[in-house]
Structure 1
Amino acid sequence: MSYSPKLTKYLPTYRIATVAAGCFWGVEHIYRKTFLGKGLIATEVGYSGGDTANPTYKQVCTSSTNYAEALQIVYDPKVLSYEDILDFFFRIHDPTTLNSQGPDKGTQYRSAIFTQDLEEQNVAEQVKQRFQDTFWSRPIVTDIIPIKNWYDAEDYHQKYLEKNKDGYECPTHFVREKGDK
């Protein structure tokens, strides 16, 4: 399944975007802090892009499963566009580092956009190119690939930084006003 079972109740009224930008705690936290009440309806953190069924956090942390720590965002396209979600994505992490964000290293921390259809694929490619041309001077290494699977992360990971105010937050998750151009 390519959607969190917890989020399918929002379809087809709303849309779901799937992104990976390092540790999913910080990615979820910054999206919720910025867009909740402004088109963001719900979120779920989990794993996408790997090959084994029902991966656990412990397995994903070995970097041997090919899963990325990812975020699914339920959004109202009448209020918040897919392009806006991706614009924000390219500003809140460093998409030029391969399989890492700050001190977090491994394929589970890679930069990726998991698309549901050709329309999302095209928008993602266009936004990536725009950021490459205007924002980042180093090559953007973000994977843009069709989503093939999704597994919800364990419950204690959901809204982790809302529940654990002093929890670890990757220092690379902040909104950049300009890249390295």
Structure 2
Amino acid sequence: MATDTQNPVPTAGTSVPGDLGRNLGMALRGYQGRFEAAVDGMPAGIRGYQVLSTVVHRDPANQQALGAHLAIDRTVLTYLLDTLVDAGVVQRIPDPADRRARKIIATESGVKTLAAFEERVAAAEADLLSGFSAIEAQTLGSLISQLAASVHQAQPGTNPCDAMDNVP
């Protein structure tokens, strides 16, 4: 590691143990502020966006699978879904495979709402990554996705919202 003997700060491009955590935290903080602004006005905010996005793009089998995918406690999910149902963006229907369970589906209004907020979120993400070329941004996204999948596989119950809520 190259350092100046008068100023023991690592030079650009070098890192020391612990820098990864600091850098991830700084990136997450930058993302969180932009994401919160982008979903301002979304029923139930960030979590409402995540639920609606998961319902539309992942089509979880039922309410329990939705909660497991997002690592949201079932009691919290119930209140969250109540808010989204009251806003008219999702509805609960009997699960065709198990009539005792409920499947969550997006309403037509919910699909339109999500599309509008996805544009805002995409713009916020583009702003965060504006210092990267398109290839660098795509590579970063791919690498972070791989890292997230690895962490999720090792710790399947980990709640990503806890990380965002506790960024120093």
TM-score range, shorter chain: under 0.3
Bigger proportion of residues as strand: 1
- Structure of greater Rg: 2
TM-score normalised to structure 2 length? 0.28
TM-score normalised to structure 1 length? 0.26
